């Protein structure tokens, strides 16, 4: 019997969380679910724990052990192995709400759109919900064109945790993730979306996203170390956009504008006001020059970006006028030393 959905679970040294993750998938409709645990060279008991679940539920759970290749390689292996109609990624330290996930599987029986949205929430180490990330319920629909669904795509809650793709759609566009690096979650909601024409929305919280785990990739110290990878990913998104530009609709261009603007603003703030080196500033300059060539309207819009709504300091414009010319940037230095900014 064809599975309705394949859940790809990349895992590396997640023995503390993998049981809770897998338990959240053991629903009444489990026979309609394919669970692919991609063990990325774990050195702890992650693989042993996952294989125990595989032995207990052989019709639904498969464990694939592979050498460490980082997050993107796990997604790519999962894409290759998946047989379900749809694909959704679940990180090994996260989980699903069981009841909502069971309804979610039922929902897939009545849709065939290329992408399906669902709500998610943020939880802490104790499982307490700290924030609910929901889309406007008025957008609930089983079939929408990309244009009609644009408010979903442009919503502030758009994230990897909110989407599932139809498997044959991803294979038809030959989608693959960058391997050997971290922070590929933004790729998951960029290049595929630029090919999407139809969407649906399931208005319930399915995904439980853990924030606050020590060593997590959203930890500030880890983000600083991975800034080079962020730069490379943004450059790749520009390449994807440039390649697809001739066939993009106005709505798809609008989405690309929003996603890349979000990435560029965060990158500027992290580099200019975070604890980074001049090497990152040089990489930022290279991306900024490329941005001006590929997406000039986005480049121009960043000129008016303020540090904060109530602080009329156009920091990107200031940096552009000084850094490439080798001029000192005293205002940036002062703000970096004394301000406490949330990125």
Give the residue numbers spanning the domain of 62.
5-210
Is 168 inside any structural domain? yes
Name the domain count of the chain: 2
Residues 206, 324, single domain; the answer is no
The CATH code of the domain that includes 70 is 3.90.550.10
Residues 227, 194, single domain; the answer is no
What's the pLDDT at 341?
53
What's the pLDDT at 343?
42
Contacts of 184 (CB under 8 A, 6+ apart): 71, 72, 75, 177, 178, 233
Q: Which residues on neighbouring strands pair with residue 160, listed in sequence order?
A: none
Is 343 inside any structural domain? no
Neighbouring C-beta atoms of residue 82, cutoff 10 Å: 20
Residues 206, 82, single domain; the answer is yes
Is 311 inside any structural domain? yes
pLDDT level of residue 14 (50, 70, 90 thresholds): very high
Q: Given 210, 236, 260, which residue is the final one in a domain?
A: 210
Of residues 278 and 327, more confidence is placed in 327
What's the pLDDT at 281?
84
Q: Given 159, 183, 210, which residue is the final one in a domain?
A: 210
What's the pLDDT at 277?
58
The predicted-structure confidence for 214-264, as pLDDT tens digits, reads as follows: 555 555 555 555 667 777 778 888 988 999 988 999 999 999 999 999 989
Is 243 inside any structural domain? yes
Residues 127, 188, single domain; the answer is yes
The predicted-structure confidence for 32-43, as pLDDT tens digits, reads as follows: 999 999 999 999
Residues 298, 176, single domain; the answer is no
Residues 188, 300, single domain; the answer is no
Task: Please report, rounded to a whole number, the percentage of residues in the chain having pLDDT higher than 70.
Answer: 90
Nearest to 322 by CA among 281, 283, 287, 294: 281
Is 293 inside any structural domain? yes
Residue 13 Cα distances to 23, 38, 41, 120, angstroms? 18, 12, 8, 24
What's the pLDDT at 213?
62
Residues 27, 103, single domain; the answer is yes
Considering only 84-93, 126-135, 208-217, 282-291, which range has the smallest mean pLDDT?
A: 208-217
Residues 106, 250, single domain; the answer is no
The stretch 53-58 carries a mean pLDDT of 98
- Reported as type and span, the H/E element at residue 11 is strand 5-11
Residues 322, 261, single domain; the answer is yes
- Reported as type and span, the H/E element at residue 339 is none
**pLDDT, averaged across the chain:** 90
Residues 175, 103, single domain; the answer is yes
DSSP per-residue codes, 20-47: HHHHTT--TTGGGEEEEEEEES-SSSHH
The predicted-structure confidence for 82-124, as pLDDT tens digits, reads as follows: 999 999 999 999 999 999 999 999 999 999 999 999 999 999 9
What's the pLDDT at 214?
56
Is 215 inside any structural domain? no
Residues 278, 226, single domain; the answer is yes
The stretch 153-170 carries a mean pLDDT of 97
Is 50 inside any structural domain? yes
Residues 84, 128, single domain; the answer is yes
Q: Given 175, 210, 245, which residue is the final one in a domain?
A: 210
The predicted-structure confidence for 179-193, as pLDDT tens digits, reads as follows: 876 667 888 999 999
């Amino acid at each position: 019997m064809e599975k309705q959905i394949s859940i790809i679970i990349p895992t590396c040294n997640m023995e503390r969380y993998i049981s809770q993750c897998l338990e959240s998938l053991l629903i009444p409709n489990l026979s309609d679910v394919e669970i692919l645990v991609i063990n990325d060279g774990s050195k702890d008991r992650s693989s042993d724990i996952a294989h125990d679940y595989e032995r207990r539920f052989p019709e639904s759970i498969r464990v694939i052990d592979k050498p460490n290749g980082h997050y993107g390689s796990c997604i790519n292996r999962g894409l290759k192995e998946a047989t379900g109609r749809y694909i959704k990624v679940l990180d090994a330290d996260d989980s699903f709400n069981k009841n909502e996930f069971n309804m979610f599987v039922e929902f897939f029986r009545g849709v065939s759109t290329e992408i399906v949205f669902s709500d998610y929430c943020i939880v802490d180490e104790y499982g307490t919900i700290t924030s609910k990330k929901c889309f406007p319920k008025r957008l609930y629909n089983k079939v929408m064109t990309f244009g009609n669904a644009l408010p979903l795509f442009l919503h502030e809650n758009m994230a990897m945790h909110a989407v599932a793709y139809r498997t044959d759609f991803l294979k038809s566009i030959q989608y693959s993730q960058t391997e050997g690096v971290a922070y590929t979650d933004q790729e998951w909601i960029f290049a595929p979306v630029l090919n999407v024409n139809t969407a649906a929305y399931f208005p319930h919280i399915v995904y439980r996203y853990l924030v606050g785990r020590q060593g997590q990739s959203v930890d500030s110290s880890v983000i600083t170390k991975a800034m080079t990878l962020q730069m490379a990913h943004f450059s790749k998104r520009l390449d994807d956009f440039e390649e697809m530009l001739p066939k993009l609709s106005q709505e798809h261009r609008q989405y690309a504008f929003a996603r890349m603007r979000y990435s560029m603003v965060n990158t500027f703030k992290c580099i200019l006001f975070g604890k980074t080196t001049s090497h990152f500033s040089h990489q930022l300059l290279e991306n900024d020059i490329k941005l001006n060539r590929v997406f000039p309207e986005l480049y121009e819009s960043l000129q008016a970006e303020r540090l904060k709504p109530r602080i009329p300091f156009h920091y990107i414009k200031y940096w552009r006028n000084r850094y490439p010319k080798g001029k000192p940037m005293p205002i940036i230095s002062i703000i970096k030393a004394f301000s406490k900014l949330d990125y």
